[in-house]
Amino acid sequence: MNLPRLDILLYAHDGRGLGHASRSIGIGMALRRLFPRLRVLLVTGCRQAGELIDRTPLDWLKLPSYETRIEEGRSRGINGKSGFTDQELARIRTRSLREIVRLYRPRLVLVDHQPQGKHRELVPAITESDQTTWVLGIRGVVGGVDQVRSDGAAALFRDHFHALLWYGDSRVLGPGHRQELEKRFGKAIECGYVSRLTELAPWRTPTDDLLPPLAGTVSIPWLSEGSRAFLGALAAALQRLKPTCGRWRIFADIRDDPVAQLFAAVEHCSIEPPGPRYVDSLRNSRMALIYGGYNSLVDILATGRPAVVVLRPMQDREQQQHLELLGAHTGDALVAVAEQDATPALLADLLARQLQLPIADHGINLQGAQQAARELVRLLS
């Protein structure tokens, strides 16, 4: 007796931040909302996927996670929390993904960002499945990502993929990034930015334990080699701001880290690990301080909050390019600071300035999740 086929499998490799998983989850939410009869499943190694899914009816399979360390602006694979090395995990996950595709027989697979998957872990599943439609989705600004720009990625896409979705807004980013993708992969379907927060809204009720309004929400999803020095500067900056400005809530997994002690003297701030309360905290804040990844930036665009955006010195320069283009559209609402250049005085000045700005709708297309969902269903038919 044949098992029923899965309609759509969403694959998101686990990178440094949450952008890959967040985009895939946002699209999964839209599929469950718009097409509830479809069988949809997410597969990812992202450890925070459950928190990002929150209360929405999207199911997922957890792969053992990769771990990376940032050294001089480049990612380097290290042993995962399961105890396997980076190379061992690649072999295990390659076989796991091949078996998942063989067992569930998905009619369509949406792959985020890298057609071959991290460490080429998707390649056997792709080449051995002849009854599956493969679709690639890529963020608005790619940056210097070799795995996307390689001839091997282009050849794999040409031989096995059926469509390319682009998660950007050409009115904001201009035509160049989409055209660059089309030269390598062929026609790209412009969907708009994928906003998980936008898709999450219909499924949850805001909590009422965050009143009165907060001055700001700070989100630090992961620590790099320069983050602890930055946190020291941030603690000193918040100490300079008067408690009358309001309270600050910091979402960072640093409770057992000595750096958390730097905030002990700052009475008008609190620290908690990343989790579901971040959404309500952001919506209840006058401004935010975030790092410049796709997921964090789109959260800010969805809520309209002014923000200080911290940029890490990464060599792919995706975040710098993206923020420059967004800044030309949003004006003073997004102000950038390099992580290594942040001093207490500079941070205090930037935070005080952003606190004076109003909440604003910048008119950016944030309907990428539902547009992508509709395109996937069209491809199914």
Q: Model confidence over 49-61: pLDDT tens digits?
A: 888 998 899 999 9
The more confidently predicted of residues 64 and 256 is 64
Asked if the structure places residue 123 within a domain, the reply is yes
Same domain, 231 and 124: no
Q: Model confidence over 79-115: pLDDT tens digits?
A: 677 888 888 999 999 999 999 999 999 999 999 989 9
- 96 φ/ψ angles, rounded to the nearest 5 degrees: -60, -45
| 295 Cβ contact partners less than 8 Å away, ≥ 6 residues apart | 17, 18, 19, 22, 23, 196, 221
Same domain, 139 and 278: no
Same domain, 75 and 50: yes
For the entire predicted model, the pTM comes to 0.93
Asked if the structure places residue 217 within a domain, the reply is yes
Asked if the structure places residue 307 within a domain, the reply is yes
CATH of the domain at 215: 3.40.50.2000
Asked if the structure places residue 37 within a domain, the reply is yes
Same domain, 146 and 33: yes
Asked if the structure places residue 1 within a domain, the reply is no
Model confidence at 69: pLDDT above 70: no
Q: Taking Cα atoms as reference points, which of 73, 192, 221, 86 lies closest to residue 143?
A: 73
Q: Taking Cα atoms as reference points, which of 306, 235, 227 lies closest to residue 269?
A: 235
pLDDT at 312: 86
Q: Grade residue 72 by pLDDT with cuts at 50, 70 and 90.
A: low
What's the whole-number average pLDDT of the chain? 90
pLDDT at 375: 98
- 143 φ/ψ angles, rounded to the nearest 5 degrees: 80, -175
Q: Model confidence over 118-174: pLDDT tens digits?
A: 899 999 999 999 899 999 999 999 876 665 678 889 999 999 999 999 999 999 999
Model confidence at 208: pLDDT above 50: no
- Domain boundaries, position 346: 203-355
Model confidence at 252: pLDDT above 80: yes
d(Cα 306, Cα 332) in Å, to the nearest integer? 8
pLDDT at 17: 67
Q: Model confidence over 7-49: pLDDT tens digits?
A: 999 999 886 667 789 999 999 999 999 999 999 999 999 888 8
Model confidence at 299: pLDDT above 90: yes
Same domain, 78 and 104: yes
Same domain, 118 and 266: no
- Arithmetic mean of pLDDT, 239-267: 86
Q: Model confidence over 331-348: pLDDT tens digits?
A: 999 999 999 999 999 999
Same domain, 174 and 288: no
**Identity of the residue numbered 141:** V
Which residue reads 């940029």 in tokens?
A: 311
Q: What percent of the chain has pLDDT over 70?
A: 92
Max Cα distance, the chain (Å): 69
Q: Grade residue 75 by pLDDT with cuts at 50, 70 and 90.
A: low
pLDDT at 70: 60
- 320 φ/ψ angles, rounded to the nearest 5 degrees: -60, -45
Same domain, 128 and 218: no
Same domain, 134 and 255: no
Asked if the structure places residue 26 within a domain, the reply is yes
Number of separate domains in the chain: 2
- Arithmetic mean of pLDDT, 178-182: 91
Asked if the structure places residue 311 within a domain, the reply is yes
**Identity of the residue numbered 228:** R
Same domain, 155 and 33: yes
Same domain, 232 and 127: no
Asked if the structure places residue 360 within a domain, the reply is no
Same domain, 265 and 317: yes
pLDDT at 313: 80
pLDDT at 74: 58
pLDDT at 224: 76
